[in-house]
Amino acid sequence: MINPDWNLQVNIGNGRKDTGAHHRAINIAQQLLAAGRWLDHLNTRIVIHNAYDTHRRLQMSGAGQYHAKYNVTVYPAVHDLIRGQDYEIHPLTASFRQLHNL
């Protein structure tokens, strides 16, 4: 399996925009990928809103299940995240692909 380029394809939307928020956004994106909610991950980028709050909500939702294929623990509330509210998925533009050699 080919993973997305986590640093380029995972962006922070609303909320804090520091390194910790980006790390949390990447973890949320990993969970969404493992849960089958980010299917076209090689041709899209994902924007995570309020990464700190969303990450905390996931971790407080109960015991997670480890997915070895994706090397991530997926928490139950990942299935409750709302596309368009908690996260957005956008196609990668040709210029973005060319600029980053994707």
pLDDT at position 1: 58
The answer to whether position 40 is within a domain reads: yes
The answer to whether position 102 is within a domain reads: no
Residues 1-22: tens digit of each pLDDT = 588 889 999 999 999 999 999 9
User: Which DSSP letter does residue 83 get?
Assistant: B
The answer to whether position 31 is within a domain reads: yes
Residue 101 predicted with pLDDT over 80: no
The answer to whether position 101 is within a domain reads: no
Three-state SS for 79?
Answer: helix
Between helix 19-34 and helix 51-59 the angle, nearest 10°, is: 50
Domain count of the fold of the chain: 1
Residues 34-85: tens digit of each pLDDT = 999 999 998 999 999 999 999 999 999 999 999 999 999 999 999 999 999 9
Give this prediction's pTM: 0.92
Residue type, 2: I
pLDDT at position 93: 86
Domain span at 16: 6-96
